[in-house]
Amino acid sequence: MNKNDIFEIEITGTTDEGDGVGRAEGMAVFVPYALVGEVVSVIIVKVMKSFAYGKLLEVVKPSNFRIKAECEYFYKCGGCRFWNVEYEQELEFKRKHVEDCINRIGKINIDVPKTIGCESNKGYRNKGQFPVTDDGIGIYAQHSHRVIDVEKCIIQGEENPAVLSAVRDWMNECGVEPYNEEKHSGCVRHIYTRCGESGVMVCIVTRTECVPHGERLVEILRERVERLSGVLHNYNEKRTNVVLGKRFRTLWGEDYLVDSIGHCRFKLSPLSFYQVNNAQTKVLYDKVAEFAELSGNEVVWDLYCGIGTIGQYLAKDVKKLVGIEVVPQAIENAKENARLNGIENAEYYCGTAEELAPKLKGEKPDTVILDPPRKGCEESLLKTVAKTKAKKIVYVSCKPSTLARDLRILEDLGYKTVKVQPVDMFPRTHHVECCVLLCRT
Ligand code: SAH
């Protein structure tokens, strides 16, 4: 097989990232935007040892589930994967992906139920990170740092077009340079936005130590963005893919947001993690509550607790709550949020779960909540948890493959995977959240 060869192939599967998979000359060919069951014409763009990447030229026989994409940037942008297929099929892809990972990687036989869908597939994101480059302001193309210029991202909150246009106009008017990644020159790297009940926070990330014409930026944003509650500056002078640097400065307004999930209120600072889809977060946490089935007599560890959300959501049915989180600002938020929510039975510790959990004194936990980042848990932490002989573990994961690896480890340490529930927090993208109940055998 060679680059630029053209084949007609049948799509028989889907990769973890939502690309179609077919075969040509005995090799697997990955084809973005091709759907299972379709016959497509592809041109080979890259040949690897055992597989190749193809570009879709023509859909020869379309899937019954193919639809016209609602987003005008869909076929260029690397953000979403599923605007060209009916939502029910996307939910099924996510269910099957979770089931496959748990079966194959976790070697655990369990049926995974239907993914809980999201009522609204648009405007659900409360956080945006838009790279600013010579090519424009927008979103990266798939597996690339080439920026697709967008005026409006339809999965983002409704204020994002006003923010993007305000920053564009400020840069044009004041001659502020975009960042150039190759040369590590220029000024504005990213526009970082977050919104919640208290308003919209806009943070401008620059390579330079100050924001040139910062007062004018504030003025334009205040004119255009209706619910603006704060304008921040983040200084990131490093050559890195990490969006945010460590230093924040307030240019105007508040340097935090306040938001609600069900009966709880949460304050969060810009560096703290917060689920991006508020409506579905309640659905997810209700599932955690259902799985945990707390009676009010349990000691609960909330590991990777962020700003304290899951534990505090459950706290009225908990005897004692212990939270661990590595980001200092998030732990400060968690302590303040406990006060805000009238919770007096919570303790919070800042550090890594793997280092701090073995040192926790006092009563052993009855229930442990694990909600790690994509890379999952350290094996040593899982051993620490198993050693406590906690009766239940509720594992919340945003990456099925590392979840499956960790479930295997926990099964080998004396736990049984009892229930699994995928929840769609990120409609139209390939990402899926999952909640799992494990019980001690
Ligand atoms: N449970 C929270 C946060 C989940 S995201 C919520 O639902 O909002 C995962 C969190 O784990 C992040 O806040 C991240 O800062 C934190 N984290 C990452 N590695 C960690 C580690 N090794 N130990 C403790 N916390 C960690």
Mean pLDDT of 180-195: 97
pLDDT per residue as tens digits for the range 111-153: 999 999 999 999 999 999 999 999 999 999 988 999 999 999 9
Active site residues: 398
Distance between Cα 302 and ligand 1 center (Å): 10
pLDDT per residue as tens digits for the range 195-227: 999 999 999 999 999 999 999 999 999 999 999
The pLDDT value given to residue 405: 98
Atom of ligand 1 nearest to the CA of 272: 13
The answer, yes or no, to whether any atom of ligand 1 lies below 6 A from the CB of 353, is: yes
pLDDT per residue as tens digits for the range 3-13: 999 999 999 99
Distance between Cα 348 and ligand 1 center (Å): 13
Percentage above 90 pLDDT, the chain: 99
Distance between Cα 303 and ligand 1 center (Å): 7
Topology of the domain covering 127-260: OB fold (Dihydrolipoamide Acetyltransferase, E2P) (2.40.50)
Given a cut of 90, whether residue 356 has pLDDT beyond it is: yes
Mean pLDDT for the chain? 97
CA-to-CA distance for 276 and 125, rounded, in angstroms? 5
Q: For the chain, which residues make up each domain, given as ranges?
A: 6-66, 98-118+277-440, 127-260
Topology of the domain covering 98-118+277-440: Rossmann fold (3.40.50)
Decide if 6-66 and 98-118+277-440 have a common fold. no
CATH of domain 6-66: 2.40.50.140
The answer, yes or no, to whether any atom of ligand 1 lies below 6 A from the CB of 325, is: yes
